[in-house]
Amino acid sequence: MDDLFDAIECGIAAKRRGVVVVVTGGRDFTDGPFIFNSLDQFDLEIGIAALYHGGANGVDNICGQWAWDWGVPCFVCSANWKKYPKSAGPIRNHWMKDFSHAEYLLSFPGKRGTAHMTAACEKIGMKIRKFTMETAP
Q: What is the mean pLDDT of residues 92-112?
A: 94
39 falls within a domain = yes
Range of the domain at 52: 1-74+102-109+128-137
47 falls within a domain = yes
> Nearest Cα to 125, choosing from 109, 100, 105, 95?
105
Q: How far apart are CA 115 and CA 81, in angstroms?
A: 19
Q: What is the pLDDT of residues 33-76, one digit of tens each?
A: 999 999 999 999 999 999 999 999 999 999 999 999 999 999 99
Q: How far apart are CA 123 and CA 89, in angstroms?
A: 17
Please give the single-letter amino acid code of residue 58. G
Q: What is the pLDDT of residues 114-125, one digit of tens each?
A: 999 999 999 999
90 falls within a domain = no
Q: How far apart are CA 91 and CA 104, in angstroms?
A: 19
Give pTM, 2 decimals.
0.86
121 falls within a domain = no
> Nearest Cα to 25, choosing from 124, 115, 85?
115
Burial 21-56, CB ≥16 within 10 A → b, else e: bbbbbbbebebeebbbebbeebbeebebbbbbbbbb
User: Residue 3: its pLDDT value, please?
Assistant: 35
Q: How far apart are CA 102 and CA 49, in angstroms?
A: 10
Instruction: Please state the domain count of the chain.
Output: 1
